[in-house]
Amino acid sequence: MRIGVDLDNTIISYEAAFVSAAKDMGYLGSSRVSSRNELKAHLLKQSGGEISWQRLQGYVYGKGIGLAELYSGAIDFFRLCRARGVFVTIVSHKTLYGHFDDGGVNLRKSALGWLEGKGFFAEACLGLSPGSVYFESTRAKKISRISSLDLTHFIDDLPEVLLDQAMPKEIEKLYFSPDRDGAPAGGLSVCKSWGDVSRRCFN
C-alpha cells in the first residue's frame, strides 16, 4: 500500500480558525456563523465579499494557521501507517503566498511549521519526513504529483480532485467529508471520519 493524503480540510480543520479570524478582522459584526461554509456564504453576499474572503484565507492559511486544529483521528491513522510500514505522503494544492496578504507570509512554510508542531516530523511521534510533503501551485500539478508517486489510495476533501479525468484510474479514491450524508456524483467512497478512513484502508 502507498497512501497519499491531502492537507487542508483533510488533515487540518480550519472551521474554528476561520470564524475566530473573521471576528477579529471585523468581518462579522453582529452576525453569527458557526462554520467555514456559512462564513463564506455570509461574506459573498456583501459588497467586496470575494476580496474579504480571499484576504481571510490568506491570513488563516498563513500567519493565523496556529488557530487551526487537527482533525480527530488523523494522528491515529498516521500512527497506524507507521506501525504497519505503509508508505504515506501528503500532497497539497497550496501556493507560496496568499491573495491580498500584505505580510507576504509563505503559506508552505506555515503549513510545515504547523505539521512539525503537531509531531508529524518527530521520530518519537510519527517520524514523517518533510521531504514526503509536496506542495503544488495548481490542481493540475497536484494531480500530476499524485500520478508520479504510484499510490494505491488517495484521501481528499474535494470530489473535483478525486473525479478529475487526469487522476489515475487504479487509485482507490476516498472522499473525506465529515458533514456529508450520501455519496457524491461519481460513486466515491465517503469517509465521515478518520476512523472510516482507517477501516477502508486496513479493515
Q: Is the pLDDT of residue 124 over 90?
A: no
pLDDT of residue 35: 82
State the pLDDT at residue 118: 94
Terminus-to-terminus CA distance in the chain, angstroms?
Answer: 13
What's the rounded Cα separation, in Å, for the pair 19 and 60? 10
Average pLDDT over residues 59-66: 91
pLDDT digits (tens, 9 = 90+) for 128-143: 999 999 999 999 999 9
Tens digit of each residue's pLDDT (9 = 90 or more) over 67-104: 999 999 999 999 999 999 999 999 999 999 877 766 78
Nearest CA-CA partner of 191 in 201, 176, 203: 176
- Checking if the pLDDT of 181 tops 90, the result is no
Which is nearest to 12 in space by CA: 83, 74, 81? 74
Contact 76, 89 (CB under 8 A): no
Residues 6+ apart with CB under 8 A from 92: 6, 7, 8, 111, 133, 134, 135, 136, 142
Q: Which fold has domain 2-12+71-202?
A: Rossmann fold (3.40.50)
Query: Domain boundaries in the chain?
Result: 2-12+71-202, 15-66
What b/e sequence results for 121-133 when a residue is b if at least 16 CB atoms lie within 10 Å of its CB, and e otherwise? beeeebebeeeeb
Q: At what angle do helices 49-61 and 15-24 cross, to 10 degrees?
A: 120
Q: Which residues of 41-57 are buried (b: 16+ CB within 10 A; e: fewer)?
A: ebbeeeeeeeebbebbb
Grid cell 457524491 in the structure block, residue = 184
**Which is nearest to 62 in space by CA: 22, 102, 118?**
102
* pLDDT value for 34: 77
Q: Which residue has the higher pLDDT, 50 or 91?
A: 91
